[in-house]
Amino acid sequence: MSEETIRRSELMWGAIAAFGVGIMAAVIVVSSFAMAIHPPSNVETIDPTTLNTNSEFAESNLGTRVNPDGSVTVRIVATQFEFLPRCIPVPKDRQVTFRVTSPDVIHGFLIAGSNANTMVVPGYVAQLRTVFSSAGDHLMPCHEFCGLGHSEMWALVKVLDGAEWKPDASGKASCELPR
């Protein structure tokens, strides 16, 4: 084995490694370009210390709402140690926009069995859009440590299909957790 042979094999491996990087980069670019998938990144600020007096995240304004244009928005406050509201009905096969924020510490938002996932950082409104393609219940646990009650901080997302999806006259939909 000459030094030349070694050098050539190294170059070949260097090329293979570079090719590997290229493939990975291409997968990332193509997947985000073709499917327009982006991580939740809307950089929208909000004062966390006055959240309890904020009009958008007022208690009566939280939960699922059908907007005048037919789209659905869910507003959620993640706080120590609960999501408000704790039961969230959403329609199947329609785009749902989640807007979540925290008045106190960092929380996490994850709808198990879906790709809805974001950090909830005080000072920012985390926003994400998703479509649920099958009816059923999903657990929505807090996924970042927020204090001693963290493990008990979860909500339930109920994906409802046509007949079960019944928002009231004002466009609000709500559900109750089984006790």
Partner 1 sequence: MSTDQDHRSSERRAEDRLWRFWVSIAAGTFVVVSLLVGLIVLPLRDEARFDPWGAICRAIGIRKDGSTVTKKSSDPPASSVTWSAGTRLALLGASPESGSTIVKETCAACHGETGVSVDPQQFPNLAGQTEEAIFKQLRDFQTGARVSDIMAPIAQTLTEAQTRDVAAYFAAQKRVEAVGSSPSASANIVELAHIGAPARGIPSCYSCHGQNRSGPEEAPVLFGQSASYIEDQLKKFASAERRNDMFARMRTITKQLSPEEMHGLAIYYGDGGAAKP
Partner 2 sequence: MPAERQAVNYRVKNLILAHIGVSFATLAAAAVLGAWQMTVRTGVNPPFATPETYFASVSAHGTIMGYVMPTLFTMGFGYFVAVTALDQPLPSMRLAWAGFWLAAVGIVAAIIPIVMGKATVLYTFYPPLTGSVFYYLGVLLVVVGSWFWVALMIWAMAHWKRNNPGRPVPLAMFGTVANAFLWLWTTGGVAVEIIFQLIPASLGWTQMIDVGLARTLFAWTLHPIVYFWLLPAYIAFYTIAPQAAGARLYSDLMGRLSFILLLLFSLPVGMHHLFMDPEHGTGFKFLQAMLTALVVLPTFLTVFTISASMEIAGRLRGGKGLFGWIAALPWDRPMVLATCLSFVLLGFGGFGGVVNMAYAMNAMIHNTSWVTAHFHLIFGGAVVIMYFAITYWIWPILLEREAADVRPLRLQLWLWFIGIVIMTFPWHVLGLLGQPRRIATFDYANPVIAQWQPWVFVSMFGGYLMLVSALLFVWNIATLYRARPVGDNRMHYAVAVYPPARVPNALNGFALWNWLLLFLMVVAYGYPLGQFFLMDVYPGLVHRVDIGS
Give the amino acid at 17.
A
Residues 27-58: b if buried by 16+ CB within 10 A, e if exposed:
eeeeeeeeeeeeebeeeeebebeebeeeeebe
Among 6, 19, 44, 129, binds partner 1 (CB under 8 A): 44
Q: Which two tokens stand for residue 138?
A: 């999903």
Among 113, 135, 171, 172, binds partner 2 (CB under 8 A): 113
93 binds, options partner 1, partner 2, none, Cβ within 5 to 8 A by partner type: none
Query: Is 42 a residue that touches partner 1 (CB under 8 A)?
Result: yes
Query: Is 82 a residue that touches partner 1 (CB under 8 A)?
Result: yes
Query: Is 83 a residue that touches partner 2 (CB under 8 A)?
Result: no
Query: Is 130 a residue that touches partner 1 (CB under 8 A)?
Result: no
Residues 100-115: b if buried by 16+ CB within 10 A, e if exposed:
bbbbbbebbbbbeebe
Query: Is 88 a residue that touches partner 2 (CB under 8 A)?
Result: no
